[in-house]
Amino acid sequence: MAKVLLVLYPDPVNGYPTFPKDYARDTVPALTDYPNGQTLPTPEAIDFTPGELLGSVSGELGLRKYLEAAGHELVVISDKDGADSDFDRELVDADVIISQPFWPAYLTPERIETAKNLKIAITAGIGSDHVDLKAANEHGITVAEVTYSNSLAVAEHTVMQVLVLVRDFVRQHQIAVEGGWNIAEAVERSYDLEGMDVGIFAAGRIGRAVIERLAPFGVHLHYTDRFRLPAEYEEKYNLVFHENIEALVKNIDVLTVHAPLTDETAGLLNAELLSTMRRGAYIVNPARGAIADRDAIVNALESGQLAGYAGDVWAPQPAPADHPWRTMPNNAMTTHTSGTSLPAQAKYAAGTREILEDFFAGRALRPEYLIVEGGTYAGTGAHSYAKQAQPAR
């Protein structure tokens, strides 16, 4: 019998909804494959209805029935930070820890030291930078995530935030809600995306999906990545490749950020880099908050060097109530929701179950789900995380 510790975000303040009565829709589309042909998660069964709220405490990622039937103990908590958190108390004898990047259970070296039984840390979602991978390697802990599960959800959110910033939706909506009708005021910062230069930093699963979704807007697309995309792909989308982010940002009006948080990317969007962008550029960052320098972003918005910043991610999470990104001018921030839409939750909950089934059966995990295994970076992790930044606390 194993102890499975599940760290999830709190339930809605008005209580956990019943399905389907309290939901906006009765169903979500049924999908089988991702665009690269990888199949969606294939657990033996699921005990939830796709479209249900699974990522909060009462949703339990739909895992309780399965785990308890198999004789395991499931402990679900939300309190994860501070010296005397439930997380600190419960992790000491946990065999499995699961958390989502939206509400990351920061597995620091100190915590890993106290988690003597820990065998696997599962990210229900994508991005395992909240786990100190070096310490996980040293302790032989497997780290796995549900690769691709919410990449397209994030790409959609990115496109939304690009349009929200460029067209200045937030201000216009506010005027409508407040009963106003001053059109001049509503459009004084409103532009068309058409014809703009858009730069994609990191053309992985999300970056490429953003390219494909933005192309029909009549934009000029640029990108940088460690490796160049195939020539036919570049031709199809008329992509301009830049050797590095420094070269990229000088040539664009909108930057979207899709790299993992590693030692190479931490703090990359700093004052110096921002000063080289066109005045009035926009940045959309759904990757990780720590890729941007907090105060440099605020200063660039206040000076007008940036015309807008829309991020979905913060460091740490949850962000404190007085975090300056909540109130800085011309922001369209969201609270790390892009990858946890209801359909995305169904995908990564099913993927988490698939990983657990394989883990308990002693079967190999899908290589694309692996980040760290047997004391070394493996699968997706060997590609993405060999240089990892320290987790924010």
254 forms bridges with which residues in the sheet? 198, 282
Q: Report in angstroms how near the CB of residue 273 gets to ligand NDP at its nearest.
A: 13
Which of the ranges 78-86, 176-184, 192-200, 284-292 carries the binding residues for ligand NDP, by CB under 6 A? Answer: 284-292
Contact residue for ligand NDP among 3, 130, 205, 242 (CB under 6 A): 205
Nearer to ligand NDP, 52 or 129 (CB): 129
The 6-45 contact track toward ligand NDP, x by CB under 6 A, reads ----------------------------------------
For residue 279, how far is the Cα from the chain centroid? 28
Q: Is residue 4 part of the contact set for ligand NDP (CB under 6 A)?
A: no
Contact residue for ligand NDP among 264, 357, 358, 368 (CB under 6 A): 264
Q: Is residue 258 part of the contact set for ligand NDP (CB under 6 A)?
A: yes
Q: How many residues bind ligand NDP (CB under 6 A)?
A: 32
- Cβ atoms of 235 and 358 within 8 Å: the answer is no
Nearer to ligand NDP, 172 or 317 (CB): 317
Q: Report in angstroms how near the CB of residue 285 gets to ligand NDP at its nearest.
A: 9
Nearer to ligand NDP, 137 or 150 (CB): 150
Residue numbers annotated as active site: 150, 288, 317, 336
- Integer Cα distance of 153 and 210 in angstroms: 10
- Integer Cα distance of 46 and 268 in angstroms: 40
For ligand NDP, the binding residues in 149-168 under the rule CB under 6 A are 150-151, 154
DSSP-assigned letter for residue 230? P
Q: Report in angstroms how near the CB of residue 96 gets to ligand NDP at its nearest.
A: 21
- Integer Cα distance of 345 and 149 in angstroms: 8
For ligand NDP, the binding residues in 120-149 under the rule CB under 6 A are 125-127
- Integer Cα distance of 166 and 145 in angstroms: 33
The 330-369 contact track toward ligand NDP, x by CB under 6 A, reads ------x-xx------------------------------
DSSP string computed for 242-300: -SSHHHHHTT-SEEEE----BTTTTT-B-HHHHHTSPTTEEEEE-S-GGGB-HHHHHHH
Q: Is residue 391 part of the contact set for ligand NDP (CB under 6 A)?
A: no
Q: Is residue 286 part of the contact set for ligand NDP (CB under 6 A)?
A: yes
Amino acid at residue number 276:
T
388 forms bridges with which residues in the sheet? 262
Q: Report in angstroms how near the CB of residue 358 gets to ligand NDP at its nearest.
A: 21
Contact residue for ligand NDP among 90, 293, 312, 354 (CB under 6 A): 312
Nearer to ligand NDP, 52 or 312 (CB): 312
| Beta-sheet strands, E only, within the chain | 3-7, 73-77, 96-99, 120-123, 142-145, 197-201, 220-224, 240-241, 254-257, 281-285, 306-311, 370-373, 376-377
Degrees, nearest 5: CA angle 44-360-64:
65
- Integer Cα distance of 340 and 62 in angstroms: 15
Contact residue for ligand NDP among 56, 123, 161, 265 (CB under 6 A): 265
Q: Is residue 287 part of the contact set for ligand NDP (CB under 6 A)?
A: yes
Q: At what angle do helices 205-214 and 151-167 cross, to 10 degrees?
A: 50
Q: Is residue 384 part of the contact set for ligand NDP (CB under 6 A)?
A: yes
Length of the chain: 393
Q: Which two tokens stand for residue 257?
A: 């950020």
Nearer to ligand NDP, 285 or 305 (CB): 285
Contact residue for ligand NDP among 74, 255, 313, 328 (CB under 6 A): 313
Q: Is residue 202 part of the contact set for ligand NDP (CB under 6 A)?
A: yes
Question: Rounded to 5, what percent of the chain is helix, strand, coil?
Answer: 35, 15, 50
Nearer to ligand NDP, 2 or 164 (CB): 164
Chain positions contacting ligand NDP, by CB under 6 A: 125-127, 150-151, 154, 202-207, 225-227, 258-262, 264-265, 286-288, 312-313, 336, 338-339, 383-384
